[in-house]
Amino acid sequence: MTVSNDAFGGVALWRRIADAIRLDIVGGKLASGDRLPSEAVLAQRFSANRHTVRRALAVLAEEGVVGAEQGRGTFVRRARRLSYPIGRRTRFREGLSGQAEHLTSQSLGHRIENATATIAAALALKPGAKVVRTEGLSLADGRPVSRSTTWLPYRLFPDFGERLAQLASMTQVFGSYGIADYSRASTRISARHADVEETRLLSLAPGAILLVSEAVDVDAEGGPLSYALSRFPAERMELVV
Amino acid sequence: MTVSNDAFGGVALWRRIADAIRLDIVGGKLASGDRLPSEAVLAQRFSANRHTVRRALAVLAEEGVVGAEQGRGTFVRRARRLSYPIGRRTRFREGLSGQAEHLTSQSLGHRIENATATIAAALALKPGAKVVRTEGLSLADGRPVSRSTTWLPYRLFPDFGERLAQLASMTQVFGSYGIADYSRASTRISARHADVEETRLLSLAPGAILLVSEAVDVDAEGGPLSYALSRFPAERMELVV
DNA sequence: TCAACTTGTCTAATGGACTAGACAACTATT
DNA sequence: AATAGTTGTCTAGTCCATTAGACAAGTTGA
């Protein structure tokens, strides 16, 4: 919970304070049900005006992270951050089971397109080769935790999109093509701010941070099956290698 | 390069534009030497005033990412983002060699302290046990790429700090204790905004994004050696699993 | 009941973010 | 030499972020 007073390039103070408090909550320093320090104390700690602190708390309340009760204080509502395990055998559903009650995945559509240089290289195809592109959104207990775009060779999976819309799990769709097992060949992790569409789809406060993972899955013989670009809200998810 | 016009929670427009352009540059869409679209075109693309775009470009110029030339245009100066490989055998120096000319690590001091619950759990110690804490900063070709804090059991490495200040490489210091080999047991990756001290030490634009890695290294028998908390500027580094 | 502490709401003033328009200075092409 | 396109600089105005102070309204424990 440390934030400076001086000019802090383009990020409003109320937002930095909200980020700092949220970090303490999802990072485990504050547990569910804990009372936050009073607005006056927080204002002093962050060297800010009480109104500015109130605005930060209003944002966190909007997100459902904290809740204020007049006369009593402000309390932590939701604390835990989900851990998504990444390894040779990486499965979305298995990885998060036990951390959330309900895991759901939605298909946001699919189309056929030509591979860019990056995608072709990842899938060991010629640039311009036909690929299937699918868009998806995953939710844990109703909260969006991942927005992913996946490209697959059209030659291997011509109707992947249609099948995914019905089966709703990558593993099952691969299975329907006779692929019993697959594994993770490489994962590339970066971070950036969410853009407008991601902010909307993931129900994030504007300007939120995303963990971005680029992953290639291969079959038992090492042949590339899919190239996936997944965006996780950093405030709700962490990646464990 | 997509940014909306409407209220975008606490992050100034000039900063979002700077982030978007920087993302295109370090992400590879724009190569070193390329000319950016003119300020007028960028202003239209981002639905912003030319002055606002100029402010974003000024920030990127300050960072050394772009350079403006009157009458000609604005050009990309530095493009590439470093890839830090993470696996069972993770070594900072080996991982980045070939991607930068000069790799240097500085020790920022060390001290003995008592393990918090988190650190004790990671190192398989009792909470409150004595641990050595070391602070470090790593640079690639003079640019800071990592700020790390490492905790080690005092019982095993009582004078780790002193030795690290002289040898300047973790691997070498472990070697000086007779530990020929060690490996990575777990890595936890998250992301957040840089705080003020990190902004200063890593020479970042205020409000920059950090990739945060929490890693436990173990010896050949699986005994925990160190718990490291590393912060990488997301605009300069990506992690590859 | 009272006192101390909490969140909720209002007004007012200041500085920065952003927009708008105009013109100067420089470069490349015709 | 002329022209179109670029970056550099100035003025002016509007809106939002932030500070400051005051008081209302609710809770808790002495």
Provide the residue-wise pLDDT of chain B in tens; the chain has 241 residues.
323 333 457 788 888 898 888 888 877 788 888 899 999 999 998 888 999 999 999 888 888 888 888 889 899 987 678 889 888 888 888 888 778 778 888 889 899 999 998 899 999 999 989 999 999 999 988 889 999 999 999 999 999 989 988 887 888 899 889 888 898 988 999 998 888 889 889 988 777 889 999 999 999 888 899 999 999 999 889 898 8
Q: Let me know how many helices (H) and strands (E) chain A has, helices first.
A: 8, 10
- At A43, which helix (H) or strand (E)? helix A39-45
Q: Give the residue on B whose Cα is nearest the Cα of A186.
A: B241
For B100-125, b/e burial (b = at least 16 CB within 10 A) is: beebebebeebeeeebeebbbebbeb
Distance from the A29 Cα atom to the nearest Cα atom in chain B, whole angstroms: 11
The shortest CB-CB distance from B15 to any of A10, A83, A206 is to A10
CB atoms within 10 A of CB A175: 14
pLDDT at B94: 80
What pLDDT is stored for residue A232 in this prediction? 95
Tens-digit pLDDT profile for residues A66-118:
888 888 889 998 767 888 988 888 888 888 877 887 888 888 989 999 999 88
User: Quick one: residue B55, left, alpha or beta (phi over 0 = left, psi -120 to 50 = alpha)?
Assistant: alpha
**pLDDT level of residue A11 (50, 70, 90 thresholds):** confident
Q: Report the distance separating Cα B172 and Cα B164, nearest Å.
A: 8
A202: left (phi over 0), alpha (psi -120 to 50) or beta: alpha
Q: How far is the CA of B191 from the C1' of D16 (A)?
A: 28
pLDDT at position B29: 82
Question: Contact at 8 Å (CB) between B127 and B218?
Answer: no
Helix (H) or strand (E) holding A198: helix A196-201
| Both structure tokens of A187 | 């994962």
For the residues A152-176, what does the mean pLDDT come to?
89
* A240 HSE (CA, 13 A, CB side): 13
Confidence of residue A6 (pLDDT cuts 50, 70, 90): very low
Q: Find the residue in B nearest to A56 (Cα).
A: B10
Distance of B40 CA from D13 C1′ (whole Å): 22
Helix, strand and coil in chain B, % to nearest 5: 30, 35, 35
Question: Quick one: which residue's CA is nearest to D9's C1'?
Answer: B51
- Would you state the structure tokens that stand for residue A200, as one six-digit string? 């909307």
Answer whether A206 sits within 8 Å of B9, measured CB to CB: yes
Give the three-state DSSP class for B221.
Answer: coil
B197 CA: distance to closest CA in chain A (Å): 9
Contact B113, B133 (CB under 8 A): yes
**Rounded CA separation B189/A238 (Å):** 6
Helices (H), A71-140: 92-96, 117-123
Q: Is the pLDDT of residue A179 over 80?
A: yes
* Residue A85 contacts B where some CB pair is shorter than 8 Å: no
Backbone angles phi, psi at A145, to 5 degrees: -125, -10
Q: Residue B135 and residue B139: Cα distance in Å, rounded? A: 14
The angle at the Cα of A7, spanning A5 to A13, to the nearest 5 degrees, equals: 60
> Which conformational region is residue A73 in: left (phi greater than 0), alpha (psi within -120 to 50 degrees), or beta?
left
A189·B241 Cβ contact <8 A: yes
Report yes or no: B24 and B30 within 8 Å, Cβ to Cβ. yes
pLDDT (0 to 100) of residue A8: 56
Q: Where are the alpha helices (DSSP H) in chain B?
A: 13-26, 39-45, 50-63, 92-96, 117-123, 160-167, 170-176, 196-201
User: Average pLDDT, stretch A36-56?
Assistant: 90
List the single residue in A11, A14, A189 with the smallest CB-CB distance to B211: A189
Pairwise CB contact (< 8 Å): B192 & A9: no
Nearest to A15 among B9, B19, B209 (CB): B9
Of B94, B196, B212, B3, the closest CA to residue A199 belongs to B3
> Taking all residues of chain A, what is their mean pLDDT, rounded to a whole number?
86
Instruction: Say how many C-beta atoms besides its own lie within 10 A of residue A115's C-beta.
Output: 22
Q: Pick from A72, A2, A81: which is nearest to A36 by CA?
A: A72
Q: Which residues contact A178 (CB under 8 A, 6 or more apart)?
A: none
For the segment A16-27, the average pLDDT, to the nearest whole number, is 85
DSSP annotation of A79: -
In the block, residue with structure tokens 């919970």: A1
